[in-house]
């Protein structure tokens, strides 16, 4: 199989152009995950500056707009994103050092804050460092080495400890309801502002939130969080970024059970999820829907990508978003082939 360009040609226009304050929704299901598409968004925003062919220093895109990305991930670790981006030729750790990229970790310590005593040396940390020639830290110090010289705005032990493995800021869910969401929102905004501090006029900030719907599912009404609160939370974050990309699960039990036509009663987790997902789709400029083939699995097709206009599409002349349905295939080497039905 020939290796594929990092950005599939058919998707380039969709990936690289996000109008001001737009929301893009990526919906995925169990057998068709969205990670590869998120990585393509990362590449579209950051790719040109990190490719080894471009000399360091010429960070601008063709039109002179620098782009920065803040990725908030609730289901996947920094290690995963770093390794997968590397397959695309994108060194996220280096980009993070250059303040072009920031990762906000919603996985490691979201619900359980480890006691400081059990600060076991994370072996992921050392693995990260071996691949980072540009980092100022010595390469072989296991996890608990002296903190790097990053002077975070918030000082104190906590802030420094968090900076250590890779660049991840770790989110914590503490407390109840909207207050807990506010704390996380503040943390993410702090990270966005840290990136913004080095931004020039006209630079764009892309915010990617990977599966915030998990937050909704894992908290629910008993903790005072519903679809409305989540939607407001996203809005709050959206205000701080140029454009926002959101990934959500859209499995049929999570969307369709909510309608009352079914025999079985729908549970709150289903109704709230459906309300959140559909609400987001109404606000989004475009919806990228990932799903598997209806006709069963195929050897040369991983799934179907449907690009459609969301409720937030303005319909203005310059906002020409073509709706289409494409097939995609993920190769073993991580390359993605995107093609129309009937083509190959």
Partner 1 sequence: MSFRKRNIGLSAGVDRAAVPNASTQPAPPESSPGIRPSPDDGRPTTSTGSPSLDNLLAGHAGLPMGKILLIEENGTTDFAGALLRYYAAEGVVQEQKIHVVGVPEQWGRSLPGLIGTAESLEEKRDKRKDEKMKIAWRYERLGEFGAGVAGSRDAPAPAPAGEKDAIAKPAFCHAFDLTKRLTHPAITNMSFIPLVPSRESPFAAILKQLQTTIGSSPSNTIHRIVIPSLLNPTMYPPNACQPEHVLQFFHSLKAMMSAYTTRVTAMITLPLSLFPRSSGLVRWIELLSDGVIELCPFPHSADAVATSGAATSVEEPPQGMLKTHRLPVLHERGGGSDQNVGQDWAFILSRRRFEIKPFSLPPAEGDTEAQDASATGGMPKKSDLEF
> How many C-beta atoms surround the C-beta of residue 217 within 10 A?
17
DSSP type of residue 29: B
Q: What is the DSSP string of 306-337?
A: EEEE-TT----TT-----EEEEEEE-TTS-EE
Give the nearest distance from C-beta 18 to partner 1 in angstroms.
22
Binding residue for partner 1 (CB under 8 A) from 10, 83, 132, 190? 83
| Least distance between partner 1 and beta carbon 59 (Å) | 18
Q: Are the CB atoms for 272 and 221 separated by under 8 Å?
A: yes
Q: Which residues contact 108 (CB under 8 A, 6 or more apart)?
A: 77, 168, 170
Asked if 294 interacts with partner 1 (CB under 8 A), we say no
Nearer to partner 1, 82 or 283 (CB): 82
The footprint of partner 1 on residues 2-61 (CB under 8 A) is: 3, 6, 30-33, 35-36, 52
Identify which range of 41-49, 55-63, 228-236, 265-273 contacts partner 1 by CB under 8 A.
265-273
The C-alpha atoms of residue 295 and residue 292 are separated, in whole angstroms, by 9
Residue from 99, 122, 137, 148 in contact with partner 1 (CB under 8 A): 122
DSSP letter (8 states) at residue 166? T
Q: Does 270 bind partner 1 (CB under 8 A)?
A: yes
Does 343 bind partner 1 (CB under 8 A)? Our answer is no
Distance from C-alpha of 250 to C-alpha of 26, rounded to nearest angstrom:
9
**Residue 161 vs 309, nearer CB to partner 1:** 161
Among residues 87, 186, 324, 341, the one that binds partner 1 under rule CB under 8 A: 87
By CB under 8 A, tell whether 86 contacts partner 1.
Answer: yes
Asked if 340 interacts with partner 1 (CB under 8 A), we say: no
Compute the Cα dihedral for 231, 17, 93, 90 and give only its sign. positive
Q: Is 137 in the site for partner 1 (CB under 8 A)?
A: no
In terms of Cα–Cα distance, which of 240, 147, 246 is closest to 197?
240
| Residue range at the interface with partner 1 (CB under 8 A); choices 10-18, 57-65, 104-112, 236-244 | 104-112
Rounded CA gap, 224 and 226, in Å? 7
d(CA 335, CA 88): 8
State the nearest-atom distance from the C-beta of 126 to partner 1, in Å: 8
> Smallest distance from the beta carbon of 106 to partner 1, in angstroms?
9
Please choose, out of 60-68, 108-116, 154-162, 187-195, the segment that lies near partner 1 by the rule CB under 8 A. Answer: 108-116
Binding to partner 1 (CB under 8 A) within 215-234 occurs at: 217-220, 222-223
Give 138's strand partners: none
Cα-only R_g, the chain = 20
In the stretch 160-199, what mask flags binding to partner 1 with x, by CB under 8 A? ----------------------------------------
Q: Does 260 bind partner 1 (CB under 8 A)?
A: no
- Report the distance separating Cα 54 and Cα 56, nearest Å: 6
């Amino acid at each position: 199989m020939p290796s594929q360009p990092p950005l599939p040609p058919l998707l380039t226009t969709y990936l690289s152009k996000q109008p001001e304050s737009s929301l893009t929704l990526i919906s995925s299901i169990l057998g068709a995950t969205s990670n590869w598409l998120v990585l393509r968004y990362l590449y579209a925003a950051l790719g040109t500056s990190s490719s080894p062919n471009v000399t360091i220093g010429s960070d601008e895109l063709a039109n002179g707009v620098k782009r920065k990305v803040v990725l908030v991930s609730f289901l996947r670790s920094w290690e995963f994103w770093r390794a997968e981006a590397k397959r695309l030729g994108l060194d996220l750790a280096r980009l993070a050092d250059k303040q072009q990229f920031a990762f906000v970790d919603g996985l490691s310590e979201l619900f359980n804050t480890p006691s400081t005593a059990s600060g076991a040396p994370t072996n992921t940390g050392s693995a990260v460092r071996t691949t980072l020639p540009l980092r100022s830290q010595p390469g072989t110090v296991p996890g608990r080495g002296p903190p790097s010289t990053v002077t975070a705005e918030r000082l104190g032990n906590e802030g420094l400890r968090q900076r250590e493995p890779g660049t991840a800021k770790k989110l914590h869910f503490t407390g109840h309801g909207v207050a807990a969401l506010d704390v996380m929102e503040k943390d993410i905004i702090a990270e966005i502002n840290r990136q913004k501090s080095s931004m020039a006029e006209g630079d764009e900030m892309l915010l990617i939130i990977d599966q915030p719907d998990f937050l909704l599912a894992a908290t629910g009404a008993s903790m005072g969080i519903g679809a409305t609160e989540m939607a407001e939370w996203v809005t709050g974050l959206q205000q701080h970024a140029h454009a926002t990309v959101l990934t959500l699960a859209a499995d049929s039990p999570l969307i369709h059970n909510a309608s009352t036509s079914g025999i079985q009663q729908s549970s709150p987790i289903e109704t709230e999820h459906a309300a959140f997902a559909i609400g987001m789709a109404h606000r989004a400029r475009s919806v990228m829907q990932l799903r598997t083939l209806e006709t069963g699995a195929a050897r040369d097709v991983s799934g179907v990508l449907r690009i459609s206009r969301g409720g937030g599409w303005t319909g203005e002349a310059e906002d020409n978003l073509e709706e289409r349905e494409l097939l995609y295939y993920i190769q073993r080497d991580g390359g993605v082939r995107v093609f129309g039905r009937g083509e190959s």
